[in-house]
Amino acid sequence: MNIQNVVVFGAGTMGHGIAEISALANYDVTIVDVDEDVIKKALQKIEWSLKKLESKGKIGDYKDVLSKINTTTDVNAAKDADYVIEAIVEKFEIKSELFRKLDKIAKPECIFATNTSTLPISELAKATNREDRFIGLHFFNPPTLMPLVEIIKGVKTSDETLEVTKSFAKSIGKDFVVVKKDVPGFLVNRINLRVFIEATRLVEDGFDIEEVDATAKYRLGMPMGIFEVIDFSGIDVVYYASKVMKARGFNFVESKLIEEKFKAKEFGMKVGKGFYDYPKAGYFRVKVRRDKAYRISPVKLMAPAINEAAWLIRNDVASKEDIEKAMKLGMNYSIGLLEMADNFGIDRVVNALNEKAKEKGFDEYKPDELLLKMVEENKLGKKSGEGFFKWKFKKQCFGYISYEKRDKTAWIVMEREEKLNALDREMWDGLHKALNKAEKDEDVSYRYHW
């Protein structure tokens, strides 16, 4: 199917960015919004962004790109569309109403894609007589910069619609992951919510916000702390998304901390106050102290997210490769979540979940069958040579000291977090053995000790 005319509904935060990247990919683009003012502002933002690209030499004359974009408040603009992307308000009734109208206006072969974050794709599709040509195309904010989209199959989405959407995503410069079943929160938001909730629970249990964020940044290699991410996303956004996901069956006990912040209207960076205080409303980075990173176990922080990933794999919602890609490209993780799990050891992940289940009594901590099966089969991660993935090297342990050889590098890691890696006799003994091993491993050419 040849796409030339792309019609974007909604000129707000997401819509104008989607329109811009579509025009940059040489499509004829029409933006439709009910609000003239929003359209005006959207065009100004697109022009500003295109001028910036021109000044950096990334595009030729910005006016050529801008001329590919038309705007209107008239829904009939969809009549020539080959591909419709809906990015209007996140309300089921309003979206359904629009799709009902569009179904009558648009050509029969036109594909409808929705950018919804939380609503069921298959239910929205029912407003039309083209459920096979209806799909989820979930961008990340800002669409101009974020390299990933989630493509979500509804129950009746055809393979052809999926293939056309994959090509469309590629053509606008996006990498994609396929969410094979329309589950609440799709892939990234399901995993994120598990991380967010665990982060708030650790705080409810007595750790401080900075300790959680320092653990994420300095021990898990994340570019931002978890609370920084929540403040950046908007506490109201996380609150509403979690409510909708819960209503649709996502199993979790709500976070008291998020509820409190929401009620106090401390929505995060955009209002100047959230989990952190900011000098004023806008985008700011907080300083997170490194010495705060050592009281929280990274395994405990991430175990619920890994459990969620296992659920997604076992239920054939997403592939392992797509889970890794999604968290790296969508959330800027420095390594994939499943590789993280393989580093921790699947047995330790299961233990962390069991401990938490016992402590809290929440069903959501029940280890997924897949994780239990992996432990049973000794697929424990890097230390046994196979976990979610097969690894070329094995991990060897000398007491609490682990030794890994990755290509020509020996990694010697102290792994007794609960005792803050205090250097007692047992630890020295393990270190001594590990260092000796590194000396003997002839092809080890670089050595890191810490």
Site string for ligand NAI, 127-156 (x = CB under 6 A): -----------xx-x---------------
Q: Is 402 a catalytic residue?
A: no
Pick the catalytic residue from 138, 198, 324, 384.
138
CB of 89 to ligand NAI, least distance (A): 5
C-beta of residue 251 within 8 angstroms of C-beta of residue 304? no
The verdict on 239 binding ligand NAI (CB under 6 A) reads no
Site string for ligand NAI, 86-125 (x = CB under 6 A): -xxxx---x---x----------------xxx--------
The verdict on 229 binding ligand NAI (CB under 6 A) reads no
Taking the least distance from each CB to ligand NAI, the nearer of 11 and 199 is 11
The size of the interface with ligand NAI (CB under 6 A), counted in residues, is 24
Residue range at the interface with ligand NAI (CB under 6 A); choices 6-14, 21-29, 246-254, 356-364: 6-14
Task: Count Cβ atoms below 10 Å from residue 90 Cβ, excluding itself.
Answer: 16
Which member of 3, 6, 7, 11 binds ligand NAI (CB under 6 A)? 11
C-beta of residue 131 within 8 angstroms of C-beta of residue 154? yes
CA 339 – CA 154 distance, rounded (Å): 29
CB of 171 to ligand NAI, least distance (A): 20
Quickly list H helices, 111-187: 121-125, 159-171
The verdict on 12 binding ligand NAI (CB under 6 A) reads yes
Taking the least distance from each CB to ligand NAI, the nearer of 329 and 338 is 329
The verdict on 14 binding ligand NAI (CB under 6 A) reads yes
Closest CA to 349 of 406, 310, 385, 390: 310
Q: Is 449 a catalytic residue?
A: no
Token pair listed for 55 = 């000044």
Which member of 3, 6, 9, 71 binds ligand NAI (CB under 6 A)? 9
Q: Is 359 a catalytic residue?
A: no
CB of 15 to ligand NAI, least distance (A): 6
Pick the catalytic residue from 131, 150, 198, 364.
150
What end-to-end distance do the CA atoms of the chain give, in Å? 56
CA 311 – CA 355 distance, rounded (Å): 19
Task: Count Cβ atoms below 10 Å from residue 47 Cβ, excluding itself.
Answer: 16
Any idea what DSSP says for residue 215? I
C-beta of residue 95 within 8 angstroms of C-beta of residue 120? no
**Nearest residue to ligand NAI on Cβ basis:** 12
C-beta of residue 246 within 8 angstroms of C-beta of residue 185? no
Question: What percent helix, strand, coil does the chain show, rounded to 5?
Answer: 50, 15, 35
Task: Count Cβ atoms below 10 Å from residue 237 Cβ, excluding itself.
Answer: 18
Q: Is 150 a catalytic residue?
A: yes
Q: Provide the annotated active-site residues.
A: 117, 138, 150, 189
Give the footprint of ligand NAI on this chain (CB under 6 A): 9-15, 32-35, 38, 87-90, 94, 98, 115-117, 138-139, 141
